[in-house]
Amino acid sequence: MIDAAYDSHMSLATLPPSNICDRAREARDARFDGLFFTGVTSTGIYCRPVCPAPAAKRRNIRYFATAAAAAAAGFRPCLRCRPELAPGAMAHRLGEALIDRALAMIADGALQDGSVDALAARLGVSARQLRRLFVAAMGVAPLALHTTRRLLLAKQLLSETDLPATQIALAAGFGSVRRFNAAFQQGCGLAPLQVRRSQSAGARTSGDTLTLRLCYRPPFDFAAMLSFLAKRAMPGLERVDSDSYQRLAGTPQAPLRLRVSANPRQPELLLQLQGADPRAIPDLVRRVRRLFDLDADLAPVHRVFADEPLLARAIAQRPGLRVPGGWDGFEIAVRAILGQQVSVAGATTLAGRLLRAYGTPCAATDEGFDRLFPTPEALRDVPLESIGLPRARAATLRTLAAAVADSVVDFSAGQRLDEFVTQLCALPGIGPWTAHYVAMRALGHPDAFPAGDLILRQVLGAGTAISERECETRSQPWRPWRAYAVLHLWHLSGDLAKERKA
């Protein structure tokens, strides 16, 4: 059965067996979209498993674990199924922790301005060993993986926007159109102009507002995600309504507006960017994907939770629940400290006061978007008690701001969970609950678990809070996806409370 084949594949580190790929391709099974790519030797094109084109003969088919591996083998991306739209594969789905961390760092832009040698040094291995591990697991070296990703982003911009080639070259990280054209021709097998001509002008956005498609692997409870973000939205910086999330980003001198909504016809979100510098587009896309947890594959998560009755019930009620990320690590850490020992509403009120008092004013925009979140430098020496904070918590915020400003603490992707928690807990006023909450939302770490959380302890204790140690012990079978258990148990707590009152 292909269902069993899918479940079996999710525990594998590399390309699924060819017989599984055959059946998934023939069935155009969307669950495998992004998990492998199909190269057709008779045409020289590589496709997603869901490509609507007539199926090629099996003797002309080759399978690849990544789009980069297919490109390295000389295949060019399909113009019909558009491999750049394939949903991402969760960075932590592989079995080797070092590769997991490297993938998270690359996705976070580690090779945009840095080198493979620097990446390897951060991981504590040689560049040669890192390349060897990548070729074995991903079918391609780290730099080739990064290059293919930025060329596919350029292909998406060519297909979905009317940005001129000079701006697309900048967005893809190239300093000149000539270098961009040469790299694109080599990596995609087509000239940029050919890609643009292949898409109808009506499908592209033009003017000051661009719209990009960000695909995901269903299910996805977008309404639940918006509800979570709405309760924490700060007026002047964010706005959440029934069908979209809006935010001010960019710089004080060149602020930009973004809006994220769902496409009702496809499993994708639509990202609208107003006034964005093309060079900022890759970072903006990365942040939105992290904020909405778009690279999650919930099938292995649900499988791990199946033996826990509470989680099985929660999944049945909300199968598309994901872990809301954060736009910026420092912002999430500040808000976590503001939320210590107060309600979500109370923390949001304090965050709003902080934004008004110390946020960075921007050139006035319409609809009240006028302020960016304070920088670490702006908070390290200010009287935060003035917004109603207790003295100890204000001191903790100033200490955090100084640590981030001085690069003692950072929120870069790919950090080990235990090392990050230890680093953050070394700051006065920050304990394991805060550190795990920040790791869960700012780092997107799937195994973060704030075991001291009162709601978690009450839900697991059937209304009577169990100890933090018991909560930690109870969570061990749910690894490495405990962050998803946190969201499910938080949502389930309201249902259980209503039942106990009935």
Active site residues: 47, 453
| Secondary structure class of 426 (helix, strand, coil) | coil
- With vertex at residue 223, the alpha carbon angle to CA 222 and CA 228, rounded to the nearest 5 degrees, is 95
502/496 Cα distance (integer angstroms):
10
Task: Output the six-digit token pair for 362.
Answer: 């921007």
- With vertex at residue 350, the alpha carbon angle to CA 484 and CA 228, rounded to the nearest 5 degrees, is 25
CB-count exposure of residue 203 (10 Å: 0-12, 13-18, 19+): exposed
Q: Which amino acid is at 8?
A: S
Task: Output the six-digit token pair for 433.
Answer: 């609950």
- With vertex at residue 313, the alpha carbon angle to CA 311 and CA 319, rounded to the nearest 5 degrees, is 80
Give 154-173 as a DSSP string: HHHHHHHB---HHHHHHHTT
176/155 Cα distance (integer angstroms):
16
| 3-class DSSP string for 353-387 | HHHHHHCEECCCCHHHCCEECCCHHHHCCCCHHHH
Question: How far does CA 154 lie from the centroid of its chain?
Answer: 19
In 3D space, the residue among 187, 429, 469, 441 whose CA is nearest the CA of residue 292 turns out to be 441
Q: Which amino acid is at 55?
A: A
282/395 Cα distance (integer angstroms):
35
214/290 Cα distance (integer angstroms):
11
The sheet that has 268-274: what strands, in order across it?
Answer: 209-215, 268-274, 255-262, 244-250, 238-240
Question: How far does CA 237 lie from the centroid of its chain?
Answer: 20
359/328 Cα distance (integer angstroms):
14
- Contact assessment for residue 196 and residue 202, using Cβ atoms and an 8 Å cutoff: no
Tell me the backbone φ, ψ of residue 34, rounded to 5 degrees: 90, -10
In 3D space, the residue among 424, 416, 406, 475 whose CA is nearest the CA of residue 445 turns out to be 416
Whether a cis peptide bond, with omega within 30° of 0, leads into 219 is yes
In 3D space, the residue among 203, 204, 116, 202 whose CA is nearest the CA of residue 168 turns out to be 204
Whether a cis peptide bond, with omega within 30° of 0, leads into 480 is yes
